[in-house]
Structure 1
Amino acid sequence: MLIVVIVGLSACSRLPDIQGKGEAFLQGVWNQDSVANKEQLQNYTQHKFKFTCDSFYVDFTTHSKVNYYEEECFNNGLWKEYAKGTYQVRNDTLILVGDFTKPNYKQKVSGCYRNGRYITSFKVNSWNAEELKMENLSDQTEVKLNLKEKITCVQKAL
């Protein structure tokens, strides 16, 4: 009977209430400084990512020649969106799962542009200490990011 209790207690262990470490190579602020062939595109989005531990924050700046929104939202074809959440890297795929937010990264439930869940995957094509090249798996666009600031993960309590 004692053996069953010991085995039962050792089979379950409580996970710590602390955020994950994430991937060391991603830690930092990464900007997409340019978009290839942007003059020929009807619309394009530039990204600014911040990866800290297992969390991400992303700012999107969209440029559009076509109005998909009400006039007060279109803003002459230039607008910003924001999202935050957690990420995982599986083999060569970066998976981002989070929510669209307001500029202060608080949850956004209504308003112009997208709201609700933000779920996106990128194929990591290459990376080094200064540059990260990815392909958005939903639309096959290239996202070339440059490291602007290195961050060291300091895990926080959840």
Structure 2
Amino acid sequence: MKRSFLIAFTFLLCALSYLSCKFNPDMQTPGESYLQGEWQQDSVTMQQQLVSYSLYNLKFNCDSFFVSIKTISKANAGADSCTKGGQWTEYAKGVYDQRNDTLHVRGLFCNADYTYKDPTGCFRSGIYEERFKIVKKTDSVVQFNPTSSVIAINTRLVKRNTCTPKPL
């Protein structure tokens, strides 16, 4: 009795694990058509009153993204060579998906040339992950509302592109 139960249980586990697994696709997925292109944030509401703020430039190509985050800070960082007089830029790349009004981006911090960032360098390294509530104002204006911040990212379309999926 115990042996047949163990065999049945093992068979069930194998079947479930087989059904729950899926292969990664050979090609990029098309992503969201309205996002395809480059989106620029020019300013932040009340930026003159803020001690520090960030400006975003987001690029979407098929299901991939690249973001540059330029931070401006009035706080005295001392002799830190990383802050370069209160301004610095960080970069990340990865993939995104959207469910309803929430955009989920997940990737890694990288250098401006898309190469992966040395973890011993300045600022953040490793995983970059964020969720945004999306408000599409017009075809060329989108508001990204980070779930980790109260400051909305109002962007305008700088350049539109069309997704041509590439092999992975």
Q: Calculate the TM-score normalised by the size of structure 1.
A: 0.87
Three-state SS of the structure 2 residue aligned to 1:72 is: coil
When the two chains are superposed, the root-mean-square deviation of aligned CA atoms in Å is 1.9
Mapping for residues 131-146 of structure 1, pairs under 5 Å: 131-146=141-156
The residue that corresponds to 1:107 in the other structure is: 116
Query: Structure 1 residues 91, 13: closer, same or farther in 2, change over 3 A?
Result: closer
Query: Structure 1 residues 95, 68: closer, same or farther in 2, change over 3 A?
Result: farther
Three-state SS of the structure 2 residue aligned to 1:75 is: coil
Identity of aligned residues (%): 40
Q: Calculate the TM-score normalised by the size of structure 2.
A: 0.82
| Structure 1: tracts of 5 or more residues without a match | 1-7
The residue that corresponds to 1:66 in the other structure is: 75
Q: Indicate yes or no: 2:5 matched with 1:23.
A: no
Q: Indicate yes or no: 2:93 matched with 1:47.
A: no
Provide the aligned length of Structure 1 versus Structure 2: 149
Q: Which has the larger radius of gyration?
A: 2
Q: Which moved more, 1:70-79 or 1:31-40?
A: 70-79
Match of 2:157 among 125, 147, 152: 147
Whether the 8 Å contact between 1:98 and 1:117 is mirrored in structure 2 is yes
Give the Å deviation of 1:50. 0.5
Moved over 6 A (4+): none
Three-state SS of the structure 2 residue aligned to 1:98 is: strand
Give the Å deviation of 1:138. 0.1
Whether the 8 Å contact between 1:67 and 1:74 is mirrored in structure 2 is no
